[in-house]
Every structure is written in structure tokens, then in C-alpha cells.
Amino acid sequence: MDRLDALRLFTRIVELGSFSRAAGELDIPRATATYAIKELEARLGARLLERTTRQVRTTLDGRAYYERCVHVLAELEDAESALGTAAANPRGTLRLDLHGTHATTIVLPRINDFRGRYPHIDLIVSSGDRLVDLVREGIDCVIRAGTPRDSSLVARRLAVMPEIICASPEYLGRFGTPTHPDELANHQSVGFFASSRDIAYPFELIVDGQTREYSLSNWISVNDAGSYLVAALQGCGLVQLPRYHVEQLLRDGRLVEVLGDWASPGLPVSVMYPYHRQLSPRVRAFIDWVTELYAERFGVTTG
């Protein structure tokens, strides 16, 4: 294994906390990974990793070396991406993590267009609503709704999605239809929370030019977009969510919009990626493409 490959292996072992997982990701035998790190430590004359039966972690020297390796590899990608051929024909495997509805209703229905433009990029796509550790899990970039809170990531705004408040006809038949935001206090909602931070999200509407929050009572709370929608269809309460997600249900009459005279501030959606991967030609290609895709669907954002 040459020096550059050894650096890549070492950084992935640190990020994944595992020789086996790093070896599997790089498609090399576990024994080869072990031997390569022993060679690296011998050449440097320093112990880089502490190994136990349960985990792998860096020594103080190993942590310092890891930070330098990340910088070196980023500089290498920068140099390669500066070449016209690499920039025009990006290649390799791109690992993405997309919220479920963004994957199934926006990105994947157009993914053949991306493949047509970049035939040498292979995709590995995971989806869900959970937060992921991009570095540890080897994810190149994610698409997430909401205001980005992780300062360790670069965030590029893709769109601000218009939101509406709606409910099933069955719910409105039992509890009535609110005609002013102040009447929300008399209604129930389907609660939505971020499981990793135990944060509950209130409804937001623009009233008299100001954004106001409304916290409704609820008897059911979920942390998954699919469950949120199903609970609304079952008459569990009012929900506030992006219009694109429920357009067909509104047309079918399975959901009914309320308080349509008051706009919501909109839900921002961003693509995010680690600082040290921002120069990868394949990451740049995907971000440029997905920015066009969201602008076509929701309009150009200046954020």
C-alpha cells in the first residue's frame, strides 16, 4: 500500500472507530489494513492508535497526525479538482443521506438526469429523518429541512418551501375549522419533535407582518415525517408541513387546508457537507445539480 492509500486508510479508521469497517469501505482485507497501519507507525516512529477489543481511538500523536492527514487529503482533492479533466468528468462513489420525502418526491425521480450528466459517479443513498454523523459514517453530503445547527458543516440553502396548516375532514368535522390564528388555542395538533434534542416544534404564521408561534395541545407526537402525515390522515389533529408533500392529498380531499389567508415563514432546506470534502469534484457536481433541481421546483433562493 502506498503512502497516500495509507493516509486514506488511517483517516477512515479514525472516523469509523474500526479497522474492519474501514477495510470494508475501502474494499481491502482486514489483515492488509492492520499491516498497513503497523508499517505507518513504524515509519513515523510513533504509536497512532490504541486498540482494544471494543474500540479503536487515537493517541495524542495520532490525533495530531489525523488532523494533518485530513488537511493533506483535502489539498490533494483541491489540486485534482483544479484540473480541467477531473472537474469536467468527476468520478468515484458519492454517499448521500436524504430525508425520506426529499429522496422519493424530489431527488430520485430526477436521478437519471444526474446520471446522464455524470456517468462516472456512482451513488449510495441512505434516507430517513435521523441525524447522521457525516464524518464517522462516511457521508459526503446530506439534504435536511430546517435551520442548520451544526457549525462543523458547510450549509448551502437550496430553497424555502411554502408550508400550510391542514387536517383531515374527519378532524374538522369533530372540532370545527379555525378561521383566525387565535383560534388555534382551541385545537389539537399532531406533535412533531426532534428525537436527538427533545425539541417540540410549534406552528408558525405571519400575522400583521410578524412571525408568531402557536403551541397547540396534542395527544400524539412523532419524530418522523411519514408518521406525521399518517397521523393527520387519521384525524389526530392539525399539522403544518410543506405544501408539496400534500398536494395530491389536498386535491383528493383527504386533507383540507385551513387558515390559508395567513402565510407561514416557510421551511428552509439545505445541502450540507463537511468542510474537508467541499472541494471534491463529485460533491461539487451533485450540489450544483441539486441546487438547479430545487430552484426549478421552489424558486431561486438568495440564502
What's the pLDDT tens digit per position in 10-60? Answer: 998 988 888 998 898 888 999 999 999 999 999 999 999 998 777 888 999
Q: Domain spans of the chain?
A: 3-82, 90-157+268-298, 163-265
Q: What is the pLDDT of residue 179?
A: 96
Q: What is the pTM of this model?
A: 0.69
**3-82 and 90-157+268-298, same CATH topology:** no
208-257 pLDDT per residue, tens: 999 999 999 999 999 888 899 999 999 999 999 999 989 999 999 999 99
For the domain with range 90-157+268-298, which CATH number is right: 3.40.50.11540, 3.40.190.10, 3.40.710.10, 1.10.10.10? 3.40.190.10
The CATH topology of domain 163-265 is D-Maltodextrin-Binding Protein; domain 2 (3.40.190)
286 band by pLDDT with thresholds 50, 70 and 90: very high
Q: What is the pLDDT of residue 115?
A: 95
- Give me the residue label for grid cell 449510495: 124
Class of domain 3-82: mainly alpha
Give the mean pLDDT of 177-190: 96
Bridge partners, 200 (sequence order): 193
264-280 pLDDT per residue, tens: 999 999 998 877 655 67
